[in-house]
Amino acid sequence: MPASTSQAPQAAQACPLEPQERVGGEQAARCLYTSWLTRDRSLAGVYASAEAVKYLFGMDPDPNWQWQGCGEITGSPGENACQWLAPPDPGVTFLMVLGGSPALGNTVLSVQASD
């Protein structure tokens, strides 16, 4: 699980089809989640790899996931992820593993479920 580096969720996250600024990790994760809820694969492809989109879109959208924050993955220095908790089973978490660079911005490379 990542150590949280972001606090409470921000209000609405902007998810443009053509971002004009560098995409942060939280923005990439939130925009992928939003695109999944609205079944917008084109938007998802802006913020995530084809692998991450395929994995997430293989499940039914669930608007009840709870944001847990972003941070470095414990035991994997330099690797970051954003975490969601999927109710009603509090044991299932989804990690959106991030990649990218400070200059180019972030993207969700993969989505991993764990209990």
CA distance 45 to 33: 12
pLDDT (tens digit, 0 to 9) for every residue of the chain, 115 residues total? 454 444 444 446 789 998 888 899 999 999 999 999 999 999 999 999 999 999 999 999 999 999 999 999 888 888 899 999 988 766 789 999 999 876 778 999 999 998 7
The Cα 112–Cα 55 span in angstroms is: 9
Structure tokens that stand for 95 in this block? 């990690």
Instruction: Please give the pLDDT value at position 77.
Output: 85
Fill in the DSSP letter of residue 73: B
